[in-house]
Amino acid sequence: MNIQLAIRFVLGIVFAIIGYNLSSRFLQIDDQAARTMIQIGSVIAFGGIGVFLVPIASEWLRYWSGVFAQRVAKEVLSQLPRIGRNKANKSKKEKSTYLNPIVVDTSVLIDGRIADVVESGFLFGTLIVPRFVLSELHHIADSAGALRRSKGRRGLQILERLKKSKLIDTKIYSQSLPEEKNIDDKLVVLAKSIKGKILTTDFNLNKVATVSGLKVLNINELVNAIKSTLLPGETLEVKVIQEGKEKNQGLAYLEDGTMIVVEGGSPLIGKTVPVKVSRELQTAAGRMIFAQPVKKEESPTQT
């Protein structure tokens, strides 16, 4: 406090001297008394300015330094969320290179039904076709056997159809992978690395991928899931085409491939007859429906 008073006193004297010099230099008045009064007034006015300059200046500095500090703090705080968002977005982009990645194996492309599933709109995201799957397809398409060669070419045609589809994005994955001898192992490693699912019709790959903790999309399981359901007592017409395993059994098939076991149907082979559903059995190989021929006096209702 004493230092501030001393500074104010010194500034008062300095400003008083400045006021006296200014009034003596610029005021040309002949009247000595008036000139003296003006000089005294200048000394008092400038001296007062010097005395009160310190608190005014300190108050001004305190105010504007506070404003400046608030603006700096506000700018810094506004940048922090942006920096966090940029880091989060960058991390997110690095982790999610593909939208819902689905790794496709060779069996799916050779099977061909994947193209119809895609066109139906039930799949979305990105189909990932590894380079080694494409190489295997080329190898199959160049085989000496006509049937195997035909399967390979169909797989290539299905792949071309998928690449042209506007309902899903199909990418050829060409990046290097760890040296795995088994193609199934390569598919599992790839699916894990991109956090994707595996699309297959292969039973063994389905088991390996499931044990490895991967989500598996199996076309065969999809087909079984969407087969039409027949309730006991419903009737339909089927064509008995061959004998069953048990005595007097005949076998027929629905359009979706579901097997119909016709009890007592062996004498009806080659005929289209009405049958009544008795029960349904789900097996590892698929669904089986057991039915009995409808007697002539019954009036069947087709489904």
**pLDDT tens digits for 79-105?**
655 544 454 444 444 445 788 999 999
For residues 275 and 256, is the Cβ–Cβ distance under 8 A?
Answer: no
Q: Which residues of the chain have pLDDT under 50?
A: 83-85, 87-95, 300-303
Helix (H, G, I), strand (E, B) or coil at 198: strand
Distance, in Å, from the CA atom of 140 to the CA atom of 143, rounded to the nearest integer, reads 5
Interval 162-220: pLDDT, tens: 999 999 999 999 887 766 678 888 899 999 999 999 999 999 999 999 999 999 999 88
Two tokens, residue 154:
């169909």
Q: Which residues contact 177 (CB under 8 A, 6 or more apart)?
A: 130, 132, 186, 189, 190, 193
Q: What is the largest CA-CA distance in the chain?
A: 151
Amino acid at the residue 228: S
Distance, in Å, from the CA atom of 119 to the CA atom of 101, rounded to the nearest integer, reads 17
Q: Which fold has domain 101-225?
A: Rossmann fold (3.40.50)
Query: What is the Cα Rg of the chain in Å?
Result: 46
pTM of the model: 0.55
Two tokens, residue 110:
């050779």
290: which strand partners?
Answer: 261, 279
Q: Sign of the C-alpha dihedral, residues 25, 28, 33, 38? A: negative
Return the pLDDT at 93. 43
Return the pLDDT at 217. 93
Q: Which residues contact 147 (CB under 8 A, 6 or more apart)?
A: none
CATH architecture designation of domain 235-293 = Beta Barrel (2.40)
